[in-house]
Amino acid sequence: MTNSPKAIKNFPFPFKSDAYMYSVNIQPVTNEALFDVDEHYHGEIEERDRILQADKSGRYFAFPHMKDAQWDALEIIMNDLADYYPESFTLTQEGDRWTWLNKKLNLEDTFTFLDETTLPYEPFEYISRQVQEDIILLDQREGDLFLDAGILTFPASWSLDFDAGMRFEEFHGPVPRAHELGVFKKAKAFLMRVQIGKPWTRLNWTMTVNRRLDTSLETYADWGSDRNTVTLDNCGEKVHLRVEVQRFVRLPRSNGLMFPIHTYLISLEELVTNPDWTRRLYQVLKNLPPDLVEYKGLSLYHHTVITWLSQVVDEPELAEFHS
């Protein structure tokens, strides 16, 4: 699977300056879909189904007190898809009788809103199997946010199973520097005030070797050693910039928060078709502090990527292009 020129053009390139540092970097979402349906839809839905069939434990869970949050998520996702992709998705509501049509998956279901016995899966699993995003549902109580439901088939090196039920600062435990900077306290205070109908978004990034979405800790044995295989010759093809578009959405009836994560992968070969991105990424990687290099799992090939990028950046026709 590679990206079309259109997907490359739309890639959410994350760097706004040459030196990367943490910030809450959060922006409002206005007149824009919360969920992205792109050219990888079918491939990623199949991949998700394959992962869930192989072993659902650790990839999907919802605690019993998250029932209202599940319906909230289903309602928001169905409305979002039907509003922004009407050619593919239709939601018909006649009182509590809802009919959901997903033309992409050739699927039509009529069910009773708030009655989970009328759906083939519980509501959150039913709808999250039809989107490309990993989704976390947070319960808000006791002045804190708890990771109390989620579907996670495409994680950037973490485990849903391990984090289930944790508090906000606990599940962000491994992130270096940010705790000392007070980032999570501030982020949490902000998230707890996210209002109904006023969603927010931010980007996060790392790098991945090979075009692989499932870099979960559960499957580490399958992909961890790929990071030893990067050479100057295969770097452009193998190494991918991995960007997460994260959204923060208030769940109105349960007062929980929904946190969808859409992961986009772009190979360096694809990325360097944009000279601005090439220069920027080169600078960011050169300036990245060692603890962040380690945390993002780049140690084994960070240097190779910088060398490879320096060769591309220094090409005279690119320099000319920017003069």
- Output the smallest distance, CB 211 to another protein, in A: 31
Determine, following the binding rule CB under 8 A, whether residue 116 of this chain makes contact with another protein.
no
- Among residues 114, 284, 288, 293, which is the contact residue for another protein, using CB under 8 A? 114
- DSSP H or E run through 259: strand 257-267
- Output the smallest distance, CB 316 to another protein, in A: 33
> Which single residue is written with the structure tokens 């100057």?
232
Task: For residue 159, give the DSSP letter.
Answer: -
Residue 250 C-beta-side C-alpha neighbours within 13 Å? 14
Q: Which among 155, 78, 93, 80 has a CA at the least distance from the CA of 124?
A: 78
Determine, following the binding rule CB under 8 A, whether residue 182 of this chain makes contact with another protein.
yes
> Which single residue is written with the structure tokens 């699993």?
125
Yes or no: say if 125 and 137 are a contact pair by the CB < 8 Å rule.
no
Determine, following the binding rule CB under 8 A, whether residue 139 of this chain makes contact with another protein.
yes
- Output the smallest distance, CB 282 to another protein, in A: 24
Yes or no: say if 319 and 179 are a contact pair by the CB < 8 Å rule.
no
For 205-226, give one letter per residue: b (16+ CB within 10 A) or e. Answer: bbbbbbbbbbbbebeeeebeeb
Determine, following the binding rule CB under 8 A, whether residue 66 of this chain makes contact with another protein.
yes
- Nearer to another protein by C-beta: 29 or 101? 29
Task: For residue 121, give the DSSP letter.
Answer: S
Span near another protein by CB under 8 A; candidates 30-38, 65-73, 216-224, 227-235: 65-73
Restricted to residues 210-239, the positions that interact with another protein (CB under 8 A) are none
Yes or no: say if 124 and 210 are a contact pair by the CB < 8 Å rule.
no
Restricted to residues 2-41, the positions that interact with another protein (CB under 8 A) are 23-28
* DSSP output for 21-53: ------EE--SS-SS---TTHHHHHHHHHHHHH
Determine, following the binding rule CB under 8 A, whether residue 67 of this chain makes contact with another protein.
yes
Restricted to residues 242-301, the positions that interact with another protein (CB under 8 A) are 252-255
Restricted to residues 140-159, the positions that interact with another protein (CB under 8 A) are 140-143
- Output the smallest distance, CB 227 to another protein, in A: 33
- Output the smallest distance, CB 139 to another protein, in A: 6
Could you give the residue numbers annotated as active site? Answer: 202
- Among residues 195, 228, 316, 317, which is the contact residue for another protein, using CB under 8 A? 195
Task: Show the beta-strand stretches assigned E in 177-231.
Answer: 200-209
- Output the smallest distance, CB 48 to another protein, in A: 27
Span near another protein by CB under 8 A; candidates 83-91, 98-106, 178-186, 209-217: 178-186
Task: For residue 62, give the DSSP letter.
Answer: E
| Interface residues toward another protein, by CB under 8 A | 23-28, 65-68, 72, 75, 114, 139-143, 182, 185-186, 189-190, 193, 195-198, 200, 252-255
